[in-house]
Amino acid sequence: MTRPARLSVPRLYLLIAIPVGLFLTLLIPPTQVLDEAEHFHRVWQITQGNLVADTRVDPVTGVETTGGTYDRCVREYLDHFMKVASSPEPFRVHDFWFDTPPCSPRSRVAVFGEPMATYSAWSYPGQVVGVAIGRALGLALPITFYLGRLLGVATTIAMCWWAIRTAPRLQLLLAFVALLPMSMIGASGYSPDGMVLGCALILTAYCLRFATLDAPRPSRVDVAVIVAALMALVVSKPPYAVFLLLFLAYRPHLFGDRRRTTKVLACMAAVPLLATLLWNTLGYPSGAVLGAAGADPGSQLHWVITHPLAYLNTLSDTAFSAESQEFVMKGWVGAFGMFRSGVGDTPLIMTVFVLLAAAMLGALMMAEAGPRLATASRAAAIRTWVPLGVGFAGVLAVCTSAYLSWTSVGGSRIVGVQGRYLIAFLALPAVTVALRHERSNATVGVRATVVVILTLSIAAFVKVLFYFY
């Protein structure tokens, strides 16, 4: 008898991601994926032709700010669920689909101070298409809302699947990162987190593929995918521009000779940078809301540059603060919904689950640490450290961005950094290990990885049911 073929990692990922994604997409109440109400407003604006958010003078404050005009039914639909979230009252699934005010183009309402106005259509590829289809077909608002959610999670799953199948190694680790509860939660709503995750894993996989000595010459499709992923990532989240540095790890003769490779990679890097510059010049609304009230990014940046040691002390104090550790750790394994009054936290997403996920990541990374690979030169050896350096630079960029936007000048702690922002960098240390070593004989089994994934997913399911229902 012949042995049945082993299920490939990309197919295994789809086998788990599709049902988990559907569950979270359909059962997390509207507005309860982090910052979802604001992101849905932005998607709605984009689908009605406002690629650049409107600006207007707030009649109350007299200050120019971002704003939009929406069908009143959109505001009432979102406000209803945000009101429930601010109380201990459980959500009712029936309300998601049927308890909806009728939409009329004659009943409109203006909204001022849109916090997500700076995001572009690149940030919500699946959600924009879903909402646009729903509005074009005249579907009921709840169906349109969930159609955007479903196409959003489908887009993220497709991107992560592409990354996993592209990677010559670390497929199981990439699948594990993509299936973390917080990864799936971010993909299941209107947050750009799903797009960020998909793009980051694609860029990580291509780095792993093209940094080896026997790397194949990239095809036009490869180049197009890399540039598109970089453009979506950098235009939406400028701190993630550090992923451009992964080009430094690529084989120097990837496109023929070294000079031609340098030119091609420089052109590939220039496209997302120019797109970001263009968006910030033409697409960034002049009245955009940025950061916390009272924050002064310009003065804060000047303080960081002129007080580097004090800023390092701020980073250290933040990293070793119990409050920020809890906030960050919970955030990269599972943070559920917006604040709910009267609904306590549960022990399901605790330190034990953070440690379990971290241990699994460590085991998957160490499975790549076999015999050391010989490098042709010192420069080649240095290139293998680039992914790890990009991971550290990425964390620093995210922290600094939050410090500039959400913290008072010279503040002693950084606020606004959430663990979900750091998921994009989780696989990068493992890439350095893989580039420097052959695979270890002591590989981590697929079954053990699946058991941990399912354990975390079941904890997330129970948490969703407890927290919302």
On the 0-12 / 13-18 / 19+ scale of CB atoms within 10 A, 439 is: middle
Q: What is the pLDDT of residue 21?
A: 93
Q: What is the 3-state secondary structure (H, E, C) of 239-305?
A: HHHHHHHHHHHCCCCCCCCHHHHHHHHHHHHHHHHHHHHHHHHHHCCCCCCCCCCCCCHHHHHHHHH
Q: What is the mean pLDDT of residues 188-214?
A: 91
DSSP state of 68: E
Copy the structure tokens of residue 264: 């091609």
pLDDT-based confidence at 105, cuts 50/70/90? low
Q: Is 60 exceeded by the pLDDT of residue 114?
A: yes
The confidence score (pLDDT) of residue 296 equals: 72
Tokens 């990532």 sit on residue: 233
Residues counted in the chain? 469
Give me the phi and psi of 256, to 5 degrees please: 115, -110
pLDDT at 258 over 50: yes
d(CA 268, CA 455): 40
- Considering the chain, what is the average pLDDT of its residues? 83
Whether the CB-CB separation of 317 and 98 falls below 8 Å is answered with no
Mean pLDDT of 247-263: 89
Q: Which tokens is 317 given?
A: 């104090």
Average pLDDT over residues 57-74: 71
CA distance 115 to 131: 20
Burial of 161 (0-12, 13-18, 19+ CB in 10 A): buried
Q: Considering only CA atoms, which of 152, 139, 189 is closest in space to residue 39?
A: 189
Residue 116 CA to residue 291 CA, distance in Å, equals: 11
Q: What is the largest CA-CA distance in the chain?
A: 79
**Cα–Cα–Cα angle for 463, 341, 100, rounded to 5 degrees:** 80
Position 271: which residue type?
V
199 vs 88 pLDDT, higher one: 199
Q: Is the pLDDT of residue 1 over 50?
A: no
pLDDT tens digit sequence for 385-408: 999 999 999 999 988 888 887 777
What is the per-residue pLDDT for 93?
84
pLDDT at 330 over 70: no
Block residue for tokens 């310009």: 298
Tokens describing residue 4: 């049945």
- Whether 75 shows a pLDDT value over 60: the answer reads yes
Q: Report the pLDDT averaged over residues 429-445.
A: 80
In the prediction, which pLDDT does 2 show?
44
Beta carbons within 10 angstroms of residue 282's beta carbon: 9
**164 vs 326: which has the higher pLDDT:** 164
pTM over 0.85: yes
Tokens for 121, please give them.
């259509």
Q: How far apart are CA 287 and CA 40, in angstroms?
A: 19
Proportion of the chain in helix, strand, coil states, percent, rounded to 5: 65, 5, 35
With tokens 């303080």, the residue in question is: 303
* Least confident segment among 60-74, 124-138, 304-318, 432-446: 60-74
pLDDT of residue 313: 87
| Token representation of residue 331 | 């955030």
Confidence category of residue 181, pLDDT binned at 50, 70, 90: confident
User: Taking a C-beta distance cutoff of 8 angstroms, is the pair 413, 322 a contact?
Assistant: no
- Number of other residues whose CB lies within 10 A of the CB of residue 79: 12
- Torsion of Cα atoms, 127 then 129 then 133 then 135, to 10°: 60
The yes-or-no verdict on residue 285 having pLDDT over 70 is: no
- d(CA 35, CA 41) in angstroms, rounded, equals 10
Virtual torsion, Cα 439, 445, 446, 447, nearest 10 deg: 180
Confidence of residue 236 (pLDDT cuts 50, 70, 90): confident
